[in-house]
Amino acid sequence: MGNSNIRNPILASFASKLLPYRGLGSGILRAYKAYPDIELIDDRQNNLFKAVIKRKILQVS
């Protein structure tokens, strides 16, 4: 469903042989489904992509 932007082709070539998952290009959609409050930062100037998942604060009583 998504467009794949392989940033490390060597790592991607090994991952496709070693990992059972075959959903290249669907990670962002899956991340939003699992963590609706995820913050995605695409810093193209510095060639960085960050995914920030905030921990839930546990209330101790």
Helix (H), strand (E), coil (C) string for the chain = CCCCCCCCHHHHHHHHHHCCCCCCCCHHHHHHHHCCCCEEEEECCCCEEEEECCCCCCCCC
Residue 30 confidence (pLDDT):
82
Q: Greater confidence, 2 or 5?
A: 5
0.75 cut: is pTM over it?
Answer: no
Kind of pairing between the strands at 39-43 and 48-52:
antiparallel
Tens digit of each residue's pLDDT (9 = 90 or more) over 25-56: 777 888 888 888 999 898 889 988 888 988 87
Whether 38 and 52 have beta carbons less than 8 Å apart is answered as yes
Residue 49 confidence (pLDDT):
86
Residue 2 confidence (pLDDT):
59
Pairwise CA distance, residues 17 & 12, whole Å: 9
